[in-house]
Structures are given as structure tokens and as C-alpha cells.
């Protein structure tokens, strides 16, 4: 029964509603309906491209939506201009046309990885490659140029419609989303503090905490960028986010079972205050003051949570001087843009797979599978794990979209004669695809691919469709593109992320070292630790997806086992380190003997960080002697810290 409850809980986390998801689905669906009406009424071609643009531009809040729309407008204009220029220069020389288009695509793919604004160049590469397929259909230059310009019109007007819907009719302001997220997390914390909620406390992983904190920090940043709040309101909001993030971080130390009566009473008191704050935020109260908690629980975590709540009023009245914040220097490129050879290799491999696909479909004279080239660009991601995930999602989305299109063409479209009937058919598909697309990263692209496959087969013309050729060609194009791109990305200098994970773990160790240092014991690094651990966990998940069929049998299982051991030991280190920091915060000033023991462990963490950064195995680590005369609880806590650090060091030497 508990395993079934755990499955239901994870399913709800992936596909269930979170703050703002229903609004995003509604905005996407409304924009798609308007785009379908306009395209069918005014006979604007390439409706499938318009719908895809709607899905990409519609984001969680208005700030990200506007930025994405701006980037798309710029990139589409650049891509169309580059495509027209290539055709004008190389119209009579097909080889030169392919060569110049390949050069533009290569530069765009390189800039996608080397620039901080990679989405612009990614779209340029997609459209330039896509525009080459027009030349293979017609020899009429005027028709080809008209088709390319219609691509620009279809995508640009869809962006305009999306921005109008998002900005005027159904705005999703980041401050409202932040408020809803705070309410959701306060209720979640209250649920964790319920004495009998053992299952919830078991599911309360470090990765989930890191994800919650990451969403809070992002929404706070977006809210600040809107600059709609007064200085006092922003200060109060910052204090509330700080309090909720600290409570959420501390929740990882809650025991699974709350047996002690004092601990149960303290947990219920804190739960009551959290629920009261959630109710106050729902009413958008201007002055939100939580009840002061007087608790003397024997649990260090509950005492610290009570202290965090009691300090809220003090933090709310602190004035933050933003004028002293240093402005970051603008940088167009990532730091290793011209030193990392992986970016050039990635661009060459992706271009090679696209050119192989181009030669194949032109040699077979099978224009219907021209999206085979786009598949190569879509599935080529930084790292083999991401590429494998994108391959799986593109295939599943294409199959789901093809099935939906097949059912529609065979059973529904013959009975439809009006635009209203077409909308009745399409709206459920839009909502389903949007629901999947607004999910977590490991499933979201399947919704977009499903929409693309369905709309290309059913909605891309102005008359009822009765031919299944489009459905067949979409599936064949996707499968062949996946095979070719997968082989190229896997066999030619595969981009594995083992070294990247080592550097991320080194960064996590540096944060632990800073947090555990006696001079920084009072500084709260808990939130940054959780977010950093989530990044390591996500990268480890991607590495586990990397294909290993070219290696010895059983190597994949061995790699996954080692990854699980490393992440489990890193989790143990983080929890034990933060438990010691929490104890130091509660028992300051710390006994000098205990402080010396902690400092020796800080140095050992530094040894691990150096090992991860340099890969040297000639480092030595000495286990510090446990101080005598300590209580059993403190001795156990310090022993766990020292043992977890030493165990991680031993594990590194086995890899």
C-alpha cells in the first residue's frame, strides 16, 4: 500500500498541477485557438510552425514570455535574412548553396553552445536547414522566396498573438506566482510537521527541496525585474522568501517519527504558524506577522525552525541598500567559449548528421521525410544523456501524435465541414500537449513533438485531410533521423558528462567546506547546498541515461551502481555537515576542542574537493580523533560527520 502511495505521489509531482500550471495551459490553448482561426480564415500557411512557436513562447510568467518572444523574433528575422541571402548568392550553384548553408548552420550551432543567448542561434540553424528543403520541391525562385517569407510571417504573427494573450488578457505576473508558491510550500512544510505524516517525511528528498528553493529564487528574481513593488514591500517579500526557504531547507533534518511529546507539541505549534501564514498570504495581507513560538523542544531542528519564524519580524524591518550591489559585466560568450573543443565537435557532429540525412532523402527522392534533418538538430543536445532523453521523447511524442492524427483522419475529419468542428477536434489535443509540455524537463518535449506531428498531418492545409501519407512520412522521418543522429553522437567523440559531474561535486564540496568553517558557522548556506545537490543529482540522472551498448555487457549497470553510491554518499555528507552547522548555530560559542575537530574535517573536505578538481590520487586523509567528555548525542553527530567524509574519500579511490 505504501509503495502504491509513493507511486501516486510521484505521478502527481510529475503531471499534477503546481502553482501557475493551469494558467499556462489556458494561455497556451487560447493562443492556439486564435492562431488556428486566423490561419484558416486568412489562409496563412505553415500552421504547424505557428502552433509550435506558441508553445515555445508561452512560459510560466510574463517576464520570461516577453524575453522568449523577443529572442524568437530576432532569431527568426536573422534566419530568414540568411536563407534569402544564401539563395540569392548561390541560386545557380547547388553545391555552393549547400556549402554556404552548412557554414551558417555550423556557426549557429557553435554559437548555441558558446554564447549565453544560444536559443537565437539554435533557431537560425533550424530555419536555415529547413529552408533548404524548399529548393528541392520547386525550381521557381519566386515560389521558394514566397515560401520562406511565409515561414517568417507564420512564426512572427504567432509570437505577436501569444504576447498579446499573455500580456493583456491572461497575464501571469511573477509576484502572484511567487505568492502562490510561498503558500504551496508553507502548506507542504505544515504537512511535514504533522506528527503522523511519516510517508511525507520519507519522500522529503534533498533534490525535491533543492527544486522548491530554485523555483522560489527564480520567481523572486523575476518579481524584482518587474519593479512593481515599493522598497518596503520588496523587503518584506524578501524576508518571507528567506524564512520559507530556511524552513524548507531545515525540513530535511526532521526525523521520520516524532515520538517525543515535546517534539510533537513543538511541531504542531510550528505547523499552526505555517498554516496561519499561508492563510494570510491568500488574503494578500499587507502586514503579515507570524505568532511568536515559545518552544523548548529537545529536537535541534524544531528549535531552529522556531527561531527562523521568530526572526521574521526583525528581518522584515531591515532595509536593503540595492544601490551598492555591483553591476555584473556584460558578457556575450560563456567563459570557455573559445577554449572548449567540445563546442566545435558538437557543431561538426550535428552538421554531419544533418547532411547525411539531406543526402539520403534527396537521393531517394522522398521529400515527405524532409523533417529528418530537423530531427538531427533537435535531438543533438549537450551530453549523451540529454541526447538519449530527447531521442526517447521525440519518438514517443511522434508516435502519440501520429496515433491521434490517424484516428482523426480516419474517423472524425470525414464528418467535419466547419472551422468550429475543427476547433472542437483540436482543442483537447492542444490541452493535452500543453499539459505534458508544462511538466518537468524529462517529459516536457514529448508534448511539443506530439503537437507538431498532429498539426503537420491534420492542420497544415486548408481542406479536410484524407491522406495518411503525411502520418507515415512523419514517423519514418523521425525514426531515420533518430537512428542517424544517435549513431553520429554516440560513435564520434561522444560527449559524456562524467568530468562535468566531478566539477559539480567539487563545487558542492566547496560549499560544504564554507558552511562548516567555524568563521562561517553562523552564515546560512543551507539553501545553496540544496540547490547545488539538486544540480548534481540531475546530472547524475542524465549520465545514467547515456548509452553503453558499445561497451562490455553489464557496464551500464556498474556505472549506474557507482553513480548511486556516489550520490548517496554525497547526500550523507551534506546531511551530516548541515547537522553539525545547525548544532553550532544552536550552541554558539562552540567548545574550542570541538571547533578543532570540525576544522580538521573542513580540511578533509578540501582534500576531496581538490581530488575532484584535479583527479590526483596521491592525496592523504587523516581521520581526526573524537574529543572526549562529550554527550552521546554530540559524539554520534561528530562521528557521523567524520565517517561520511572518509567514506566518500574511499569511494573516490575505488572509481
Query: For position 9, what pLDDT does the model report?
Result: 53
Helix (H, G, I), strand (E, B) or coil at 333: strand
CB of 425 closer than 8 Å to CB of 411: no
Opening angle at CA 411, ends 409 and 413, nearest 5: 50
Q: Which residues are 411's β-sheet partners?
A: none
Question: Which grid coordinates belong to 70?
Answer: 523577443
Question: Which grid coordinates belong to 282?
Answer: 491568500
Question: Which grid coordinates belong to 259?
Answer: 515520538
Pairwise CA distance, residues 40 & 579, whole Å: 62
Q: By C-alpha distance, which of 469, 370, 447 is closest to 51?
A: 447
Q: At what angle do helices 384-407 and 526-544 cross, to 10 degrees?
A: 70
Q: At what angle do helices 555-586 and 498-516 cross, to 10 degrees?
A: 10
Pairwise CA distance, residues 34 & 565, whole Å: 51
Count CB-CB contacts under 10 A for residue 605: 26
CB of 332 closer than 8 Å to CB of 115: yes
DSSP class of residue 77? H
- For 177-246, give the DSSP string: HHHHHHHHHHHHHHHHTSTT-HHHHHH--HHHHHHHHHHHHHHHHHHHHHT-S-HHHHHHHHHHHHHHHH
CB of 124 closer than 8 Å to CB of 108: yes
Question: Which grid coordinates belong to 339?
Answer: 577554449
Pairwise CA distance, residues 186 & 275, whole Å: 7
Q: What end-to-end distance do the CA atoms of the chain give, in Å?
A: 38
Query: For position 328, what pLDDT does the model report?
Result: 55
Distances (CA, A) of 68 to 58, 228, 367, 417, 446: 8, 21, 32, 36, 20
Pairwise CA distance, residues 174 & 20, whole Å: 10
CB of 592 closer than 8 Å to CB of 630: no
- For 411-474, give the DSSP string: IIGGG--SHHHHHHHHHHHHHHHHHHHTS-HHHHHHHHHHHHHHHHHHTSSSS-----HHHHHH
Query: For position 4, what pLDDT does the model report?
Result: 47
Report the largest interatomic distance among the alpha carbons of the chain, rounded to a whole angstrom: 91
Pairwise CA distance, residues 560 & 563, whole Å: 5
Q: Respond yes or no on whether the N-terminal peptide bond of residue 4 is cis (omega within 30° of 0).
A: no
Question: Which grid coordinates belong to 628?
Answer: 572526549
Pairwise CA distance, residues 365 & 367, whole Å: 6
CB of 546 closer than 8 Å to CB of 496: yes
Q: By C-alpha distance, which of 582, 595, 575 is closest to 644?
A: 575
**pTM as predicted:** 0.86
Q: How far is CA 442 from the centre of its chain?
A: 9
Please classify residue 124 by burial: count the beta carbons closer than 10 Å to its beta carbon, then call 0-12 exposed, 13-18 middle and 19+ buried: buried
List of the chain residues with pLDDT < 50 = 1-4, 6-7, 285, 287, 320-326, 521-522
Question: Which grid coordinates belong to 392?
Answer: 526517447
Please classify residue 606 by burial: count the beta carbons closer than 10 Å to its beta carbon, then call 0-12 exposed, 13-18 middle and 19+ buried: middle
Query: For position 156, what pLDDT does the model report?
Result: 96
Amino acid at each position: 500500500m505504501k509503495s502504491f502511495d509513493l507511486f501516486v505521489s510521484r505521478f502527481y509531482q510529475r503531471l499534477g498541477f503546481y502553482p501557475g500550471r493551469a494558467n499556462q495551459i489556458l494561455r497556451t490553448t487560447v493562443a492556439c485557438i486564435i492562431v488556428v482561426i486566423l490561419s484558416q480564415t486568412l489562409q496563412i500557411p505553415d500552421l504547424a510552425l505557428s502552433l509550435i512557436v506558441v508553445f515555445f513562447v508561452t512560459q510560466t510568467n510574463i517576464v520570461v514570455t516577453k524575453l522568449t518572444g523577443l529572442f524568437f523574433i530576432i532569431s527568426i528575422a536573422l534566419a530568414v535574412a540568411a536563407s534569402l541571402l544564401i539563395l540569392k548568392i548561390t541560386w545557380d550553384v547547388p553545391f555552393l548553396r549547400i556549402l554556404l548553408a552548412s557554414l551558417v548552420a555550423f556557426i549557429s550551432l557553435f554559437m548555441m553552445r558558446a554564447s549565453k543567448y544560444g536559443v537565437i542561434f539554435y533557431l537560425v540553424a533550424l530555419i536555415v536547414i529547413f529552408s533548404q528543403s524548399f529548393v528541392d520541391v520547386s525550381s521557381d525562385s519566386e515560389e521558394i522566396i514566397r515560401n520562406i517569407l511565409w515561414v517568417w510571417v507564420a512564426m512572427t504573427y504567432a509570437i505577436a498573438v501569444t504576447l498579446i494573450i499573455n500580456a493583456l488578457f491572461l497575464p501571469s505576473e511573477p509576484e502572484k506566482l511567487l505568492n502562490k508558491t510561498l503558500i504551496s510550500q508553507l502548506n507542504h512544510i505544515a504537512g511535514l510537521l504533522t506528527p503522523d505524516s511519516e510517508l511525507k517525511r520519507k519522500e522529503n528528498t534533498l533534490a525535491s527541496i533543492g527544486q522548491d528553493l530554485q523555483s522560489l529564487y527564480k520567481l523572486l528574481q523575476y518579481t524584482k525585474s518587474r519593479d512593481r513593488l515599493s522598497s518596503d514591500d520588496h523587503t518584506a517579500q524578501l524576508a518571507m522568501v528567506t524564512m520559507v526557504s530556511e524552513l524548507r531547507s531545515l525540513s530535511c533534518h526532521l526525523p521520520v517519527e516524532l515520538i517525543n511529546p515535546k517534539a510533537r507539541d513543538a511541531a504542531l505549534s510550528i505547523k499552526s504558524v505555517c498554516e496561519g501564514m499561508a492563510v494570510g498570504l491568500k488574503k494578500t495581507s499587507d502586514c503579515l506577522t507570524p505568532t511568536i513560538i515559545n518552544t523548548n523542544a529537545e529536537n535541534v531542528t524544531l528549535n531552529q525552525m522556531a527561531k527562523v519564524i521568530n526572526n521574521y519580524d526583525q528581518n522584515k524591518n531591515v532595509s536593503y541598500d540595492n544601490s551598492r550591489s555591483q553591476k555584473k559585466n556584460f558578457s556575450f560568450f560563456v567563459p570557455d567559449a573559445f577554449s572548449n573543443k567540445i563546442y566545435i565537435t558538437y557543431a561538426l557532429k550535428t552538421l554531419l548528421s544533418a547532411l547525411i540525412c539531406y543526402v539520403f532523402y534527396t537521393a531517394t527522392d522522398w521529400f515527405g521525410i524532409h523533417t529528418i534533418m530537423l530531427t538531427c538538430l533537435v535531438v543533438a543536445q549537450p551530453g549523451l544523456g540529454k541526447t538519449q532523453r530527447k531521442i526517447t521523447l521525440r519518438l514517443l511524442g511522434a508516435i502519440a501524435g501520429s496515433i491521434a492524427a490517424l484516428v482523426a483522419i480516419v474517423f472524425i475529419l470525414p464528418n467535419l465541414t466547419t472551422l468550429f468542428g475543427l476547433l472542437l477536434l483540436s482543442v483537447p489535443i492542444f490541452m493535452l500537449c500543453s499539459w505534458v509540455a508544462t511538466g518537468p524537463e524529462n517529459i516536457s518535449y514529448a508534448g511539443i513533438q506530439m503537437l507538431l506531428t498532429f498539426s503537420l498531418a491534420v492542420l497544415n492545409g486548408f481542406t479536410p485531410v484524407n491522406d495518411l501519407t503525411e502520418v507515415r512520412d512523419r514517423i519514418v522521418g523521425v525514426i531515420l533521423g533518430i537512428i542517424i543522429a544517435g549513431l553520429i553522437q554516440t560513435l564520434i567523440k561522444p560527449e559524456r558528462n562524467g568530468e562535468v559531474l566531478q566539477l559539480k561535486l567539487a563545487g558542492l564540496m566547496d560549499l560544504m567546506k564554507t558552511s562548516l568553517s567555524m568563521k562561517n558557522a553562523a552564515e546560512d548556506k543551507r539553501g545553496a547546498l540544496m540547490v547545488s545537490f539538486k544540480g548534481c543529482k540531475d546530472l547524475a540522472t542524465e549520465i545514467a541515461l547515456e548509452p553503453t551498448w558499445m561497451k562490455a555487457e553489464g557496464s551500464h549497470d556498474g556505472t549506474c551502481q557507482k553513480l548511486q553510491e556516489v550520490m548517496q554518499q554525497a547526500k550523507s555528507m551534506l546531511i551530516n555537515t548541515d547537522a553539525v552547522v545547525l548544532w553550532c548555530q544552536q550552541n554558539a560559542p562552540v567548545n574550542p576542542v570541538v571547533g578543532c575537530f570540525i576544522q580538521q574535517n573542513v580540511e578533509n573536505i578540501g582534500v576531496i574537493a581538490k581530488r575532484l578538481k584535479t583527479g590526483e590520487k596521491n592525496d592523504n586523509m587523516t581521520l581526526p580523533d573524537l574529543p572526549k567528555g562529550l554527550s552521546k548525542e554530540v559524539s554520534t553527530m561528530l562521528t557521523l560527520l567524520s565517517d561520511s567524509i572518509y567514506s566518500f574519500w574511499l569511494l573516490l579511490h575505488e572509481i
